[in-house]
Amino acid sequence: MHSRKLLFYSLFFLYFNFKYIQPLLSSSSSSEASLNFDFQSLTLRNLTLLGDSYLRNGVVGLTKELGVPSSSSGTVIYNYPIAFFDPESNITASFSTRFAFSIGNVNPTSFGDGLTFFLSPDNQTLGSPGGYLGLVNSSVLTKNKFIAIEFDTRLDPHFDDPDDNHVGLDIDSLVSMKTANPASLGVSLKSGSLITAWIDYKNEKKRLEVFLNYSSVKPEEPLLKVDIDLSDYLKEFMYLGFSGSTEGSTELHFIENWSFKTLGFMPVRPRTHPHNVSENIVPLNPPIPVSDSGNKHHRRLGLGFGIAGPAFFCAVLVAFGWISVKKWKENKTEKNLKAELVTGPRQFSYQELKTATRGFHSSRVIGNGSFGTVYKAFFANSGALFAVKRSKHTHEGKTEFLAELSIIACLRHKNLVQLQGWCVEKGELLLVYEFMANGSLDKVLYQESENGGNPLKWPYRYNIAVGMASVLTYLHQECEQQVIHRDIKTSNIMLDGSYNARLGDFGLARLMDHDKSPLSTLTAGTMGYLAPEYLQYGKATDKTDVFSYGVVILELACGRRPIEREGGDNKMINLVDWVWKLYSEGRITEAADKRLDGEFQEEEMRKLLLIGLSCANPDSAARPTMRRVFQILNYEADPMPVPQVKPSLTFCNSLPLSIDDIISDDEGCKTPESQFEIVVD
């Protein structure tokens, strides 16, 4: 009886929810919650310190505290990203911040360079000392993106500074858009006294204002007023922080307290209350006439209920039985997973993830793969930003989900995408990862540069190669059980805020003992990255991962995809074959990505190309281990000799398909990744 009541109340609740509550919720779903924090004393619980910054007695110091002149830069960043832009409604939030700072000096004759308050899409912002204010890298001035208010204590002609005591608005450049001298208020930035600053941006007025005062009372008039629309610069999520720097100076920079708030987003459309209507517009129903046929009507109703009642009751029993069995199976799966992951990542509720992704809205999609869709998830209560992978509703998807969960949950490496949690509810299979600010390598390497963006710089490319070699060494040789990834490609390599490589997507990975050679009944992966022996026999080993790594390395060096159509006849060009041909002709460095304009170290470029060829050798026995590759990249071992001519392999049974057969001509308009993904039985 209890179960039947529960079913009845559940059905009634669902009906009531969809009829009355859901319209009200959906009408306000476009309005983001405002953020508000007030730190009277600063702690590491909410802040990240970078560079030379430090925390002492609730006060952050941004630069080195030395009695002798030095060069120093430091940054402190609020740990959680803040929502500033709603892509669904195309509305930007207003914001306001207040903080107290002081700029002092143990040597009155030594001064410079100042500090900034900044907003940035990157939580790793740390620049050079001196006039770069710890905000901009001196070697790559356009790398860091930011909106900053500078409190500058040195006149630097290089950045068109007006004097050595000014406040300015900087956007992606240290050449201020507008400046003001606080001396007009009787304030000296380098007095050593505690100064309170207020920064307000009102989106509806498109105006930014900066106030300064020695006291905690906000002045009526701003020191700096700039009419500007920041919606062009504020991303959906931004990080907040302070930076400071010195160069040959003993200047000290301190932040003593800090408060910040956003004013939220206006709803896209006004809330409607369809049931709150004026009495004078309620239609009046005319009185219903009494009919003599009432008794006949009641008898017909009784007969109908007599027939339909039992049928309806049976249907309810069948439905309830089906729901109960399904729920029992889901609970059993969840209990098994909980037993295995009792000390592992956190279990999220389905509702949490649905809310954080706005109901898995299309505007939150940041990637698609053969095993599911990846969404950006923002948790308003904690300010945390994650990526949620939603697997497809298939048996294969469930198998891949369990494989990914069981493998990556016990792995720890700085070049792995860290699993934060999981969820198995409502027939959904969901994994929660840390959010990678710069997305996937293929996007940065190809899409951004093809769309007019700057190509990925050489130091980042070489660092990505080293990071990938490090993590594959860990997976192949340093884990308790060897892990074969089986799907190493640029779209599965993620980049954090500093362009460090993080290997992800373990949906195809398999755990295996070190002394066994795994034999898979399914060849899965992406054409162009598959080793010949794997494509032929379906046998995945550490050597097949090495081959895929070699192709990725050649992509980094050459800026070309593994397989491309070229020429008027759309002939398929294999990247490994193309590089090996240049190598055999003694022209291997000509394979370097032309978009780099020669801005690379030729020795490193040659080394990377030769490593790529060594790893992509058709003969698996001739390929190096990932440990050897890692040592070569770190100058701890000599490069392996590479045959001048690409070795050829013969198999007992040849594949019936050529690359041109696998990739039909009518797919030429698809994206390269979708063209080359195959699954061969």
Whether residues 461 and 579 share a domain: the answer is: yes
Whether residues 79 and 156 share a domain: the answer is: yes
Asked if the model's pLDDT at residue 605 lies above 50, the reply is yes
65 vs 315, higher pLDDT:
65
Alpha helices (H) in 559-616, listed in sequence order: 575-584, 602-615
Whether residues 550 and 591 share a domain: the answer is: yes
The answer to the question of residue 218 being in a domain is: yes
The answer to the question of residue 238 being in a domain is: yes
Torsion of CA 445, 448, 450, 454, to 10 degrees: -90
Asked if the model's pLDDT at residue 329 lies above 90, the reply is no
The verdict on pTM exceeding 0.75 is no
The predicted pLDDT at position 487 comes to 86
Residue among 663, 645, 540 at smallest CA distance from 585: 645
Asked if the model's pLDDT at residue 353 lies above 50, the reply is yes
Question: At 61, is the pLDDT very low, low, confident or very high (cuts 50, 70, 90)?
Answer: very high
Q: What are phi and psi of 226, to 5 degrees?
A: -130, 125
Asked if the model's pLDDT at residue 279 lies above 60, the reply is no
The predicted pLDDT at position 333 comes to 53
Among left, alpha and beta (phi > 0; psi -120 to 50; other), residue 453 is beta
Are 130 and 71 within 8 A, CB to CB? yes
The predicted pLDDT at position 227 comes to 95
pLDDT tens, position by position, 629-666? 999 999 898 888 999 999 877 555 444 444 444 343 33
621 contacts: CB under 8 Å, gap ≥ 6: none
**Ranges 23-32, 64-73, 221-230, 511-520, most confident:** 221-230
The predicted pLDDT at position 176 comes to 94
The predicted pLDDT at position 281 comes to 35
Whether residues 533 and 622 share a domain: the answer is: yes
What average pLDDT is seen over the chain? 78
The predicted pLDDT at position 520 comes to 39
Whether residues 397 and 514 share a domain: the answer is: no
The answer to the question of residue 270 being in a domain is: no
248 vs 447, higher pLDDT:
248
CATH number at residue 448: 1.10.510.10
pLDDT tens, position by position, 294-314? 444 555 555 555 566 666 667
Which domain, by its residues, includes 60?
36-262
Whether residues 638 and 582 share a domain: the answer is: yes
At which of 212, 236, 262 does a domain end?
Answer: 262
The answer to the question of residue 311 being in a domain is: no
Question: Residue type for 425, please?
Answer: E
Asked if the model's pLDDT at residue 550 lies above 90, the reply is yes
Burial tier of 408 (Cβ tally within 10 Å: 0-12, 13-18, 19+): buried
Whether residues 427 and 483 share a domain: the answer is: no
Cα angle 105, 110, 111; round to 5: 75
The predicted pLDDT at position 651 comes to 53
The predicted pLDDT at position 507 comes to 57
Question: At 429, is the pLDDT very low, low, confident or very high (cuts 50, 70, 90)?
Answer: confident
pLDDT tens, position by position, 76-132? 999 888 889 888 778 889 999 999 999 988 887 778 899 999 999 888 788 888 889
The predicted pLDDT at position 427 comes to 75
- Catalytic residues, which ones? 487
Instruction: Over range 177-194, report the average pLDDT.
Output: 93
Question: Residue type for 282, please?
Answer: V
Instruction: Over range 159-174, report the average pLDDT.
Output: 92
DSSP state at residue 440: B
The predicted pLDDT at position 24 comes to 39
Whether residues 42 and 89 share a domain: the answer is: yes
Are 621 and 501 within 8 A, CB to CB? no
Question: At 271, is the pLDDT very low, low, confident or very high (cuts 50, 70, 90)?
Answer: very low
The predicted pLDDT at position 240 comes to 94
The answer to the question of residue 222 being in a domain is: yes
Whether residues 254 and 155 share a domain: the answer is: yes
101 vs 674, higher pLDDT:
101
The predicted pLDDT at position 675 comes to 32
At which of 243, 262, 281 does a domain end?
Answer: 262
Whether residues 484 and 586 share a domain: the answer is: yes
At which of 262, 288, 317 does a domain end?
Answer: 262
Question: Residue type for 420, please?
Answer: Q
Give CA separation, 80 vs 494, 512, 544, 674, in Å.
20, 38, 39, 34
CATH number at residue 142: 2.60.120.200
Asked if the model's pLDDT at residue 34 lies above 60, the reply is yes
Asked if the model's pLDDT at residue 278 lies above 50, the reply is no
The predicted pLDDT at position 218 comes to 94
The predicted pLDDT at position 525 comes to 58
The answer to the question of residue 315 being in a domain is: no
Instruction: Over range 357-371, report the average pLDDT.
Output: 81
The answer to the question of residue 163 being in a domain is: yes
The predicted pLDDT at position 19 comes to 44
The answer to the question of residue 674 being in a domain is: yes
Whether residues 472 and 419 share a domain: the answer is: no
Instruction: Over range 484-512, report the average pLDDT.
Output: 81
pLDDT tens, position by position, 449-475? 555 567 889 999 999 999 999 999 999
Strands (E) in 33-113, as ranges, are 36-39, 47-51, 54-56, 59-61, 70-78, 82-83, 85-86, 91-92, 95-105
Instruction: Over range 157-185, report the average pLDDT.
Output: 92
Tell me how many domains the chain contains: 3
CATH number at residue 365: 3.30.200.20
389 annotated as belonging to a binding site for a ligand: yes
3-class DSSP assignment, residue 294? helix
pLDDT tens, position by position, 403-427? 666 667 778 888 988 888 888 887 7
What token pair was written down for 650?
């013969």
Whether residues 83 and 181 share a domain: the answer is: yes
The predicted pLDDT at position 513 comes to 47
Question: At 171, is the pLDDT very low, low, confident or very high (cuts 50, 70, 90)?
Answer: very high
Alpha helices (H) in 90-182, listed in sequence order: none
Question: At 26, is the pLDDT very low, low, confident or very high (cuts 50, 70, 90)?
Answer: very low
**Ranges 244-258, 273-287, 498-512, most confident:** 244-258
The predicted pLDDT at position 187 comes to 93
Instruction: Over range 132-143, report the average pLDDT.
Output: 79
140 contacts: CB under 8 Å, gap ≥ 6: 457
Question: At 483, is the pLDDT very low, low, confident or very high (cuts 50, 70, 90)?
Answer: confident
